[in-house]
Structure 1
């Protein structure tokens, strides 16, 4: 049984002001709507809740866990490699650094030349100011310049800064300034361009400017007002050209440019629906692939347009046509030649080189890599470990070399290089995250399994499970079940360094591939969206029940965790099956499913969830909306909610209102809410904030599941 906790402290008082709305003929009470607002009263309530967390969590337990996380955060992280004209760009977070630096190399394994070092920015040396971070970068096609996205406080509203890339002869020993490396100059600054990101910015072929998608800001409620703009360095930000205004809240534009011909292609995608492609020719948008519900991506290389689509293939196939034909417009899928037909594995990405294609597929939610000729002929498979994830793939446009990220439950993230003209041994590891802290390297006795559990409507749902075989456990294992289940996001094997202490102390970690993700293509996604959303929660429950039935754990030692859409899943399964869980962790969640569309990006998610203003959708949303399904006669497990004051995706009111309702109207708990300032949905967190978050969330989990930190490991970390 879990350890006996000290008597629960009383939560802060929350005033109750019932607002009643009649929605589709149904009276809906909302007693904590005032927590949707801002102002002094809400700030005081948030501060009181944070204090309640500190009073409730076990200080001694936190003190024992913190040194382990302080050591585990002090390891290097390596980002994807981007190749431009013989220059190799990457991000690297060195041990002891809060933020990753952007570096460039003259060879894949060459010396780093620093371009951007956010750790040296003045804001990040001032504890009174929100941290600034570099969230993304896009190099020009010639590698002479790079655009970077900078945010303050992690709010996902970015300034775009354009930097020169110094000549390789620049001495690496010379001094940089202002957080930029030696010889790096800030060529232009485009302030407050909204949610522009790496996927919505494309350099022109000549490298003298770029096209990008700008939005309004969260503060003025204009995040979904979108414009496509063209910026030229010679003209400056004041002379940007407006190419298109776009006010459809459910559709997001993307832009890509063919570096050979200069052709600008624009995609319009619903967040979870089909994609329409156009080309920008002679000042107008010319339709290319339209009038389709297929999800389609396009990339250009050496005169060919490679088209990856689920049109006629639920698990995707690869088609191709000439760039000239693509430019003409009014293209049909049937006109394209098929290079890779749909199969059992889902095509995730394709990286073209002059004579080869590197293809990443996922089968049963783990990765496969293969090398093909440009006509699709299979040449060889790349040897990968079992139950691994390829997290990204890139290639050199001008040479037969490619790069990919590799990880797994038992495999720290690594960056690998691949010679596509070579044989089975033509692979090299460029970098790997080294875990060698407080005796918490990857254990040799770590068991990694994939199980399949039966869920509703005959679905067989994959569940990954990992645990240390030799860890001494008296009885059922404390187990944390994680999941997401939505927006085509797949749950695949991933390395979690901060779960190493839990595994060392006898815990088990499980991950459920719930419907709503993309583990088996679009049918799997559609089986967990709109009116079928209940399937997502069924799969979480089926996984939890199966873990208990197998003898791995039991309901006194099983916790459930998820964030964002996964936080909705946690909220739903806690309110639907409170008897199944000993605890729950619910991060930056959606929980009020009758008002989610009124805040931030919520309206754009109605294509995934349904619209509360639609009578049919209202019925199924109300049936599972966690906030509206708290039962005063039910006893709920302890829940640890987290949110962020600067979250520009999911409004913090979801977590606030749910916490208030549980604290004041339900039995059980404790129900805790931690609100972080100077951060958002998850972008740009400094190492110190990560340590605080990990310490608190794991201390909560340890206490509720009855886990005692290993004394030897804790002592080594002191």
Structure 2
């Protein structure tokens, strides 16, 4: 163990029931497979592990950290702005609220008119029921209706509720009202006009309103409970027909391919994309009840956006970091389109094109270069007009625009920059950007440390790769020995690690800690080649990059062997599991959230089969060879001393099965030296969606208490070790220590 941590109590006993399988001629022992079940014995084991966490964590540290996180959760959050014909939709979580409300405004900075307030739903006022949350919303093109996705317990299986939106001129007085099957909390004048109960994994990105606003097309899956998440249908719902009168446009059973839909609001054209989780995209149009191929037979990743008679096509075909092409909507409808027929609007360059927002006369273009953001304004033919002034090392988290005017909006954040919502006039001169809302940390007497340093470093890794890593820390704090440091990363599925604000991270920074984020291969920081360099047989590169980043932090003198922790979640949890088993000597502690860890059986649970395009398939002999070499569950060395590890998972996770964390915890507790090895299992939540503020505070308190104790961090800097003179200056993001 690191520093002066007290010995942890002994973990609960775990029975060994060895199952041996012969896979491709290799005998593989699995002594804890019984933890894949959901019977009473597993439930009792999970409860015992939760009790063990409570006994192992330092109550004094938790008690002293909790008030800081309770203050931080009170800060307001502001979601993206979506414009629909004079209505400006957004989500806002007010201080003291567990959940964000959906509001509409008559102007970007206008007064909020509440449409949906989940805090008033009956389930969220009853401690004995799983919380309900509004996970997404999609307004119709005319702004008169909105579809809302509601989940219970964060399981990502959604009810879709269709609501009417009052006209902008209607009275705003009154409070949220209307009781509809426990869904009180709709604002004045809002009516529930349809309910599509539990349509599986429906989300906002797979629902598109039709041009007339009287219906929508969406992609539905089966539910996790019946093992049908991979069964997909494209359905058309018309309000006049009712939910039982839906039309199934297409049934789709390819487990590795996911459909998505988009509609041109001008012509009504329905376009359907089919893409592998990490592969190319094929586009079709739905014409005369048939799917007509448009862009097919390609490995390119491609997205399409319709506006003003033009189909804008963003693709990595012929440009590893993406380029923007265009053709007429009429030509797109004809089908059998080639990339060569399209005109090039924006060529590929050093920065990766992340998104493009078209307006009647302009384009707002978001690029990332070296994993941080650039914004520029162009004519619709691609002519550069101006760059938008942004601070250094920042992230543009979303962009949106007004289809009918020059307005555009974007979210902005950074390690030292609380999230803000900005608006700009694309037809105006530079410097006309306005800040419409921002997370006000000072409102709860907390702030970013004045001496916070934010740097980007480049780390030498295997195969000659130069891997970006962001580092932030207080410059003027005195540290006795190595500075406590936390390295975070992900490394997969084209997800880029970019500068992010972490409100719950700032107590750690204020108390002298350093936070680092590594842009490991497998992400999209440098386009598809960077992704491909960390997938399938090259997945080891991801772990090499984590390890190289950890070694670089130690070699720089920023931290030392007793002071460096590593954290990640989901695919990032796999990365943590791999580097802990491959280099247990490098880390003083590890946090591993909702992880994949058994890479020989991941494909058998929930969405796992769809991830075989990223990792390889264990039933393929060649893939089996490299998977077994790094699968964390199968590579625990009983002779090595492992660092303390804090695992977290959720009983309602419908993406990554909780058995990964259970089995790994059991193996470490019973077969490995070192630790302690702790597992916290949450109920009434899933992979991360819809957590109420109270649950977030609990999670943050436990996660950071674990790190504070294991890295020897003094709360407020008053007990020796790392610390400083800003005892009450903290903050970070709602995803917590893993961001």
Place the TM-score, normalised by the shorter chain, in its bin: over 0.9
Cα deviation for residue 439 of structure 1 reads: 4.8
Contact 1:439–1:713 (8 Å) recurs in 2 = no
Contact 1:448–1:464 (8 Å) recurs in 2 = yes
1:195 corresponds in structure 2 to 201
Cα deviation for residue 590 of structure 1 reads: 0.1
Cα deviation for residue 176 of structure 1 reads: 2.9
Distance 1:713-1:127 versus aligned 2 partners, 3 A rule = farther
Is 1:38 paired with 2:45? no
Contact 1:170–1:182 (8 Å) recurs in 2 = no
Contact 2:310–2:329 (8 Å) recurs in 1 = yes
Please give the secondary structure, in 2, of the residue aligned with 1:404.
strand
Q: Kindly report which structure 2 residues correspond to 1:586-665, keeping only aligned pairs within 5 A, or say none.
A: 586-665=592-671
Contact 1:72–1:437 (8 Å) recurs in 2 = no
Cα deviation for residue 471 of structure 1 reads: 1.9
Please give the secondary structure, in 2, of the residue aligned with 1:436.
helix
Is 1:543 paired with 2:553? no
Cα deviation for residue 713 of structure 1 reads: 6.0
1:71 corresponds in structure 2 to 71
1:105 corresponds in structure 2 to 105
1:527 corresponds in structure 2 to 533
Is 1:243 paired with 2:253? no
2:124 corresponds in structure 1 to 124
Contact 1:89–1:103 (8 Å) recurs in 2 = yes
Cα deviation for residue 716 of structure 1 reads: 9.1
Cα deviation for residue 631 of structure 1 reads: 1.0
2:735 corresponds in structure 1 to none
Cα deviation for residue 442 of structure 1 reads: 1.1
2:354 corresponds in structure 1 to 348
Q: What RMSD in Å do the two structures reach over aligned CA positions?
A: 1.1
Is 1:232 paired with 2:213? no
Work out which of the residue numbers 263, 286, 289 in structure 1 matches 2:292: 286
Please give the secondary structure, in 2, of the residue aligned with 1:497.
coil
Is 1:323 paired with 2:332? no
1:433 corresponds in structure 2 to 439
Distance 1:264-1:438 versus aligned 2 partners, 3 A rule = closer
Contact 1:97–1:687 (8 Å) recurs in 2 = yes
Cα deviation for residue 8 of structure 1 reads: 2.2
Structure 2: 5+ residue stretches without partners: 178-183, 719-724, 731-739
Q: Kindly report which structure 2 residues correspond to 1:573-592, keeping only aligned pairs within 5 A, or say none.
A: 573-592=579-598
Contact 2:507–2:729 (8 Å) recurs in 1 = no
Is 1:687 paired with 2:688? no
Find the aligned partners of 1:7 and 1:341 in 2 and give their Cα distance. Answer: 59
2:483 corresponds in structure 1 to 477
Q: Deviations over 1:411-460 (max 9, x none)?
A: 00000001001111111000000112665301221100000010000000
Please give the secondary structure, in 1, of the residue aligned with 2:244.
helix
Q: Deviations over 1:389-423 (max 9, x none)?
A: 00000000000010000000000000000100111
Q: Deviations over 1:493-545 (max 9, x none)?
A: 00000011000000000000000000000000000000000000000000000
Cα deviation for residue 715 of structure 1 reads: 7.2
Is 1:185 paired with 2:225? no
Find the aligned partners of 1:442 and 1:664 in 2 and give their Cα distance. Answer: 42
Please give the secondary structure, in 2, of the residue aligned with 1:606.
helix
2:58 corresponds in structure 1 to 58
Find the aligned partners of 2:230 and 2:565 in 1 and give their Cα distance. Answer: 36
Structure 1: 5+ residue stretches without partners: none
Cα deviation for residue 2 of structure 1 reads: 4.4
Q: Which segment is superposed worse, 451-460 or 421-430?
A: 421-430
Find the aligned partners of 2:469 and 2:726 in 1 and give their Cα distance. Answer: 29
Please give the secondary structure, in 2, of the residue aligned with 1:287.
strand
Find the aligned partners of 2:264 and 2:4 in 1 and give their Cα distance. Answer: 63
Work out which of the residue numbers 301, 310, 317 in structure 2 matches 1:295: 301
Distance 1:598-1:169 versus aligned 2 partners, 3 A rule = same
Find the aligned partners of 2:340 and 2:42 in 1 and give their Cα distance. Answer: 57
Contact 1:438–1:714 (8 Å) recurs in 2 = no
Q: Deviations over 1:115-162 (max 9, x none)?
A: 000000000000000000000000000000000000000000000000
1:502 corresponds in structure 2 to 508
Is 1:448 paired with 2:454? yes
Find the aligned partners of 2:281 and 2:597 in 1 and give their Cα distance. Answer: 29
2:260 corresponds in structure 1 to 254
Please give the secondary structure, in 2, of the residue aligned with 1:498.
coil
Contact 2:562–2:588 (8 Å) recurs in 1 = yes
1:13 corresponds in structure 2 to 13
Contact 1:229–1:242 (8 Å) recurs in 2 = yes
Contact 1:414–1:429 (8 Å) recurs in 2 = yes
Contact 1:440–1:500 (8 Å) recurs in 2 = no
Cα deviation for residue 39 of structure 1 reads: 1.1
2:365 corresponds in structure 1 to 359
Find the aligned partners of 2:190 and 2:443 in 1 and give their Cα distance. Answer: 35
Find the aligned partners of 1:416 and 1:244 in 2 and give their Cα distance. Answer: 40
Count how many residue pairs are aligned between Structure 1 and Structure 2.
717
